[in-house]
Chains A and B, each alone.
Chain A
Amino acid sequence: MIIRRPPDLPTAEITDEALYHDRRRWLAATAAAVAGLAVPRSAAALGQGQDDKPTPYDVVTTYNNYYEFGTDKSDPAQNAGGLKVKPWTVSVEGDVKKPGRYDLDDLLKGLPTVERVYRMRCVEAWSMVIPWNGVLLRDLLKKLEPGTNAKFVEFTTLADARQMPGLRYDVLAWPYVEGLRIDEAAHPLTMLATGIYGKPILNQNGAPIRLVVPWKYGFKGGKSIVKIRFMETMPKTAWNLAAPNEYGFYANVNPNVSHPRWSQKTERRLGEFFRRPTLMFNGYADQVGSLYSNLDLRTNY
């Protein structure tokens, strides 16, 4: 079932940015915190159980984790401007009927474009709501025709030291690699994004093409993808290699499985002051739960 706009994010609820910037809410929240300290738990509402307003564009484009441009949240917006994203070549390899080096425009040619408003939950326990533009990965898979032994898809992202100052530090084993099981890749929620808020995606958000898997922690969404490989074995992904006890291959959003160092039960939606509960599979359990019916999510975190 393909949802043009997921029903839990109706357009009508999109609040304009002016309201987001409303200082009253700020002051009210601060006053409540300072004066009260006795904020009634039920009135926890300030953060909780509320709607999913899209996060303002300037926040989405200035608060980023893209370590190739630096590890501070503001680094990518400052350092990614010079990245050359046109022309862009994506190499398709492995067990697939139509391998090759594709110009990005050719790769996406003929695929229906979609617009999706998705929650994005970072493993660091903050979250956003982002209106994406792009294509469904499943449509690309149909075009490329993976072979019968293609159980996984691996995404390799750009690692160009001349353009990416963050590569000077081996914080992670560059290049950044992410991967999905083939059925996850073919799921109708999984997309390759080329735009945000109807505009071409900015470099700091992963231009010109990036992965978006809304029920998984944000780090699964590899940015500036240069290689797609179909393979029989599970790809070795960057964060899993860096700290296997903290970051698994699956990385499904799961409030019941803590990060070894911090809780994943709650999250702070950027722009809000109090935390809200984190939802199983980031609120997409109805759509994706069946993918994992035979998997122990505690050991396969």
Chain B
Amino acid sequence: MTSPSPRRPRRGSLQSTVVRWVLKPALWIGCLAPAAWLARGVATLDLGADPVKTLTHTTGLTALILLLLTLTVTPARRLSGVDALIALRRPLGLFAFFYATVHLLIYAVFDHRFDPAEIAADIVEHPWVLVGFAAFLILLTLALTSPPPVVRRLGGRTWNRLHRLIYPAAGLAVLHFFWLVKKDTREPVLYGAILLLILASRFFIRPTRRPRTAAPD
């Protein structure tokens, strides 16, 4: 996705301790909160008039937000100079993938009774569905190439190039949202603007030049 972490933060440094014992647990709690909220809603039958819509929309929106958060890790690291932040990137990305998967499953089961032919027809006929599905396929690829052994096998450079696909994935996700709303496009446009801002930041916030190492993260 971005240039790999140039050097591993020294174990026991204050920064990496904070990331490991404060930020990472906070990330896990924050990322699991929407799922917990939905689970509670399912258990107490409290998901509004159209529960399936609530489930679909919440999981989709959470996936999009996490995708955007994943993309802010590198600019945040460069701005702050705290290299240890890179440790947040993979869990954020994988949680985005998790919510996207649940989102897709809810759609497949409740909207199409898991009928492959019907789902295929829906994907082909409706660009809105197609772009969502394309975004999912990208996230799937990125998730499958996330475990450290796979990263090592691919090599840092290839991995980096491949994981730049997260930008098109986020763009497709925003478009998916945009095409879904009937008329009031303020919300998807807001997320689109945030994505553009993150993308633009890559050109303004340059990485500081440091010796490269082979393996990322």
Query: What residues make up the interface of A, taking CB atoms closer than 8 Å to B?
Result: 21, 23, 26, 30, 33, 37-39, 41, 44, 59, 62-63, 67, 71, 73-74, 123-124, 126, 169, 171-172, 242-243, 258, 261-263, 266, 268, 270-271, 273-275
Checking A38, A59, A171 against B49 with a beta-carbon cut-off of 8 angstroms, the contacting residue is A59
Interface size range of chain B in the complex: 20 to 34
Query: What are the residues of chain A within 8 A of B50 when measuring CB–CB?
Result: 63, 73, 126, 268, 270
B52 within 8 A of A: yes
Chain A contact surface mostly:
loop
Once the chains bind, are A39 and B113 in contact (CB under 8 Å)?
A: yes
B98 within 8 A of A: no
Checking A41, A172, A268 against B113 with a beta-carbon cut-off of 8 angstroms, the contacting residue is A41
15 contacting pairs across A/B (C-beta < 8 A): A21-B45, A23-B45, A41-B113, A59-B49, A62-B49, A67-B183, A67-B184, A71-B183, A73-B50, A172-B183, A242-B183, A261-B127, A261-B128, A261-B180, A270-B49
Once the chains bind, are B184 and A73 in contact (CB under 8 Å)?
A: no
Query: What are the residues of chain B within 8 A of A243 when measuring CB–CB?
Result: 183
B28 within 8 A of A: no
Q: Which residues of chain B in 108-129 are interfacial with respect to chain A, using CB atoms and an 8 Å cutoff?
A: 109-111, 113-115, 122, 125-128
The residue on B at minimum CB distance from A63 is B49
Q: A124 to nearest B CB, angstroms?
A: 6
Q: A116 to nearest B CB, angstroms?
A: 22
Chain B contact surface mostly:
helix
Checking A38, A73, A74, A172 against B114 with a beta-carbon cut-off of 8 angstroms, the contacting residue is A38
The residue on A at minimum CB distance from B128 is A261
Q: Which residues of chain B in 73-121 are interfacial with respect to chain A, using CB atoms and an 8 Å cutoff?
A: 109-111, 113-115
Query: What are the residues of chain B within 8 A of A62 when measuring CB–CB?
Result: 49
- Bound-complex Cα distance A39 to B48 (A): 24
Q: B47 to nearest A CB, angstroms?
A: 10
- Bound-complex Cα distance A255 to B164 (A): 41
Query: What are the residues of chain A within 8 A of B133 when measuring CB–CB?
Result: none
Q: A16 to nearest B CB, angstroms?
A: 16
Once the chains bind, are B182 and A275 in contact (CB under 8 Å)?
A: no
A23-B45, A73-B49 in contact; A261/B110 too (CB < 8 A)?
A: no
Once the chains bind, are A261 and B45 in contact (CB under 8 Å)?
A: no
Query: What are the residues of chain A within 8 A of B113 when measuring CB–CB?
Result: 39, 41, 44, 274
The residue on B at minimum CB distance from A38 is B114
Query: What are the residues of chain B within 8 A of A172 when measuring CB–CB?
Result: 183
- Bound-complex Cα distance A172 to B179 (A): 17
- Bound-complex Cα distance A163 to B183 (A): 22
B42 within 8 A of A: yes
- Bound-complex Cα distance A262 to B127 (A): 9
Checking A23, A123, A263, A268 against B126 with a beta-carbon cut-off of 8 angstroms, the contacting residue is A263
The residue on B at minimum CB distance from A44 is B113
- Bound-complex Cα distance A38 to B108 (A): 11
